[in-house]
A = this chain, B = another copy of it.
Amino acid sequence: MSNNTLGRHFCITSFGESHGEHVGVIIDGCIPGLQLDLKYIQYELDRRKPGQSNITTSRKEDDSFRITSGIFKGITTGAPICILIPNQNARPNDYDHLKDVYRPSHADFTYEKKYGIRDYAGGGRSSARITAGWVAAGAIAKMILQEKFSVDIQAYVKQIHSVSCPDSLPVSKEAIEASIVRCPDPDAAKQMIAAIESAKEQGDSLGGIVRCSIQHSPVGVGEPVFQKLQAQLAHAMMSINASKGVQFGSGFDSVLKKGSELNDAWTIENGQPKTQTNNSGGIQGGISNGMDIYFDVAFKPTATINHEQDTLNKDLEPVKLSATGRHDPCVVPRAVSIVEAMAALVMVDNLLHRL
């Protein structure tokens, strides 16, 4: 019932603010006896961290982390794991001009009305900075998925503004990480980077689509009728800042096909049941069917832009806002690691009891 806790078995509790001492996460329910690969956790944090390239925000954070509980001589004990990620480059005073004004399409107005008080330093709790904790927890989830279940999770940028990545290409982690935009198609990646750079120059921002696939999932993941796998994944994805929609398998395009065109016929391949197509996205009746699970998450352009905008202040008077502060012209390349982390958290939450 804790609103900042996700998961039912491998539970993460998120805490911290953008410009406070640290952001962090408690993981409750991690298996004991796990040797944590600290370098891998840092690798995942580095994929999310700000300042990693010229198409991300210029805020500089190492996102180095500290584990302060739940391990004994480097091994997990089954006790809650506390991970702290200090805010090193916090500049709370950069935001004093936002104290009394509501930025358009931000959480300023709603947080203030809901809680009666607003931490305006970099958005406080509403900042995507807190997803650093989620990514750290997700890294541990991925370790468990890989070591114990051989499940692999992989996301990439499928679209930035009007530039799409062709669907058919085979995707490797190397191809994804080869470009700073995390699109595995080199040509599309180049165009995406150019589009982001151009938006940045104009003080504007772009959105995009992340595609995520979960490979080698065992059959049987998902709990009808109210914890179907797609419901859990949708919940997790719609928890990510700036996400606007999610679709599974053939998604919204399913509408344009007839049943006879969309149904996934069962067949046998190397003695294993497979579907000839995978419009189901690996999920049938809310339960994984053994095929690759895949889905798309849409992200809107960053709300913070360097344009003058119409808005209101606390007294509900119209004012013009020209935002300063540091921000991303496009969050989508960094969102790749967050989408993967959330998918890993959902999967491990469902698989843990099989150990």
Contacts and interface: CB of A to CB of B under 8 A. Distances in A.
Contacts of A301: 254, 257-259, 262
Contact of A273 (B23, B109, B224, B305): B109
B263 A305 contact: yes
B220 A228 contact: no
Number of copies of chain A assembled together: 4
Interface in A60-100: 68-70, 72, 75-82
Given A4-B226, A244-B252, A258 B161 contact: yes
A238 interface: yes
Interface string A328-353: 00000000000000000000000001
A205 interface: yes
B3 A305 contact: no
A277 B311 CA distance: 12
Contacts of A160: 255
Interface in A241-268: 243-252, 254-260, 262-268
A119 to B, nearest CB: 4
Interface residues of A, number: 140
Contact of A264 (B105, B237, B287): B105
A316 B237 CA distance: 35
B209 A255 contact: yes
A220 B279 CA distance: 37
A309 interface: yes
Interface stretch (A27-35, A49-57, A141-149, A170-178): A27-35
B238 A231 contact: yes
Given A125-B79, A225-B239, A107 B259 contact: no
Contact of A15 (B26, B110, B288): B26
A207 interface: yes
A189 to B, nearest CB: 17
Given A228-B239, A300-B254, A259 B80 contact: no
Given A238-B234, A252-B244, A301-B258, A4 B80 contact: yes
Contacts of A33: 115-117
A322 interface: no
Nearest to A265: B310
Nearest to A228: B239
A220 B117 contact: no
Given A231-B238, A244-B249, 18 more contacts: A1-B9, A5-B226, A14-B226, A16-B68, A16-B69, A16-B82, A77-B118, A77-B124, A104-B266, A105-B280, A114-B219, A160-B255, A162-B256, A244-B252, A247-B298, A250-B300, A262-B300, A268-B316
15 contacts: A2-B28, A24-B69, A72-B124, A104-B263, A104-B275, A105-B280, A107-B224, A110-B284, A114-B220, A199-B259, A244-B250, A252-B298, A257-B300, A257-B301, A268-B312
